[in-house]
A and B are shown apart, each in its own frame.
Chain A
Amino acid sequence: MIEGIGVTEFVVVSTLMFFAGVYGFIVRKNLITILMAVELILNSVNINFVVFNKYLYPNLLQGYMISLFVIGIAAAEAAVAIAIILNVYRKLQGIDVEHVNTMKY
């Protein structure tokens, strides 16, 4: 634990990071920038798990383990998403979300 810094400060930082990710998810149209916004969101949730584990239940390892699993799942998700993005680029010559509407109607 850090002297003078409580759970609240950490949660405020991770909240700002989370909503920066949400903002990017809403306003961007490029698939890669949307993927980066999702990574921001996942990372901010990780901070919350770690801080709650450290401050509230320091004798257990649950938040720590969940953070490890979230990092692994985020890596798998990024790999599959980038494979899909490359395939979309090869078929449609662009990776903006407007291009990807063949299956919409």
Chain B
Amino acid sequence: MERIVFYILALAIVLFSVLTVTSRNILRAAIYLLFVLMATAGLYFLLNYNFLAAVQLTVYSGGVVVLIVFAVLLTVKIDHKLPPVGNLKAIVSMVLVAMGVGTVVWAVAGFNFTPTAQPATGYDVKAIGTSLLSYGNYGYVLPFEVISVLLLAAMVGAIMIAKRYKND
């Protein structure tokens, strides 16, 4: 059963990723990106990582996609079509991408991943919160503080950049 769900999600991810970069209507591309991110959240649910899936749904498909849709509506006319890609450019980039996919799939298929026999522990939100604020072994208090400063800087920077000045 889980296997079938995985294949459905994987098919949705691949299909909508390709549609995101090939669709000529930019608003549709944003909606396809939303579908990709929601299918990824489905994969996390399938792996029993519930908190991460919730973060993915709220921050990525809730926040980032809404930001992108706002930017699209503010900058592009709604019936605007992106210009078609030139033949030579499309062929060259497809060959490059196919070579990249071939290399990675070949390397991964030849590698023998051995899962550990150790039991899974600590996927509840309490363990995550404790580990985020712990400064012992496997503690993440330093990245936590750094990312809080980064988010503050990004917030101030976004406001300053997007602000309308009087002499514009």
Which residue of chain B has the shortest Cβ distance to A89 in the bound complex? B75
Which residue of chain B has the shortest Cβ distance to A58 in the bound complex? B120
Q: How far is the CA of A65 from the CA of B49 in the complex (A)?
A: 11
Say whether B49 contacts A79, CB under 8 Å: no
Q: A24-B20, A57-B116, A86-B162 are in contact. Are A17 and B13 (CB under 8 A)?
A: yes
Q: How far is the CA of A17 from the CA of B153 in the complex (A)?
A: 30
Interface residues on B, range: 35 or more
Say whether B47 contacts A11, CB under 8 Å: no
Say whether B55 contacts A71, CB under 8 Å: yes
Shortest CB distance A101–B (Å): 18
Q: A59-B116, A80-B154 are in contact. Are A64 and B26 (CB under 8 A)?
A: no
Cβ–Cβ < 8 Å partners of B132 in chain A:
65
Say whether B121 contacts A75, CB under 8 Å: no
Which residue of chain A has the shortest Cβ distance to B100 in the bound complex? A19
Cβ–Cβ < 8 Å partners of B85 in chain A:
27
Which residues in window 60-75 of B have CB below 8 A to A? 60, 63-64, 67-68, 70-72, 74-75
Q: A2-B46, A58-B119, A61-B128 are in contact. Are A27 and B52 (CB under 8 A)?
A: no
Indicate which residue in B30, B71, B159 contacts A85 across the interface (CB closer than 8 Å): B71
Q: How far is the CA of A11 from the CA of B145 in the complex (A)?
A: 31
Say whether A74 contacts B143, CB under 8 Å: no
Q: How far is the CA of A31 from the CA of B87 in the complex (A)?
A: 21
- Decide if B93 is an interface residue (CB 8 Å cutoff): yes
8 A-B pairs, CB-CB below 8 angstroms? A5-B2, A30-B26, A32-B72, A36-B20, A46-B56, A59-B122, A77-B154, A82-B67
